[in-house]
Amino acid sequence: MNPTGLEGIQEQLPLGQNSEQPKYWDPSLLVGVPRALARGVEGIDASKFEGYDLWNCWEVSWLDLQGKPITRIGQLVVSADSPNLCESKSLKLYLNSFANERIESEAALIVRVSDDLETVLGIKPKFCLYALDDSRFVVQNPKGVCIDRLPVDLAVYEPNALLLQTDPSQVGAELLHSNVFRSNCPVTGQPDWATIVVKYEAQERLFPESLLAYLVSYRNHTGFHEACIERIYGDLLGCLNPTELVVWAGFVRRGGLDINPVRSMTPINFLPPRLVRH
């Protein structure tokens, strides 16, 4: 397994450990992981991008003051500038610790969650609650051209930026996506599947076959969702020298959560849609 940056702290993380179901609200369940750990081993320069991580939280429920359960879908947006990530299982346990908690209003819950997460993340996140039938959670297909039917001849499944190739005779301006991306969790070693979307404009066109080969090369790579997308962004930035570049991923839901990192050259006002594997 490749270095992950977690060496020495992995036993402190709840993911992969046996955990009791919390009975009541417990902010001490939240565990932060410094972004610098993964960025260091992946060679990521965080000054090269803007962005955020969108978490869809599908297990949010609490009691009103009369003891009646209320259920919502939570959306958590964390800036890529935050010093820390929130370890995913710790967030799952924390959100489920509200199951027997009486709370006077949705607004009160939002304030409590935002304040608790700020302590762990080192930055104030944006946390919102939505009804289960909110139209933003209707399943959509990613826009642009799917590259998954293109041929790939690959024998080594570790990320290699040299796989990215361009055509200097053509200007590039494309929106491409692939549904075959796989990497592996640095804590449990279990596979993480995702749809990757790339939008770029550059003086040279990226061969779509080379992008697919490059994305497939992550198949046995171990890394956090966020660090994988930042590395993909950085390698595309170095290859294309683009005037516009946006890379985002919709990772398959695990443990009642899905994580959708978005990285771009400039600030972007865009939230990834719900995809079929969310």
State the pairing for strand pair 244-251/257-264. antiparallel
185 noted as active-site residue: yes
Determine how many CB atoms are found less than 10 A away from the CB of residue 191.
13
List 192, 228, 239, 258, catalytic entry:
192
State the pairing for strand pair 205-206/172-184. unpaired
List 53, 86, 116, 185, catalytic entry:
185
- Closest alpha carbon to 260 in 269, 247, 241: 247
Q: Indicate the angle between helix axes 225-240 and 35-42, nearest 10 degrees.
A: 40
Number of Cα atoms under 13 Å in the Cβ half of residue 274: 17
Q: Indicate the angle between helix axes 225-240 and 208-216, nearest 10 degrees.
A: 150
146 noted as active-site residue: no
Catalytic residues: 185, 192
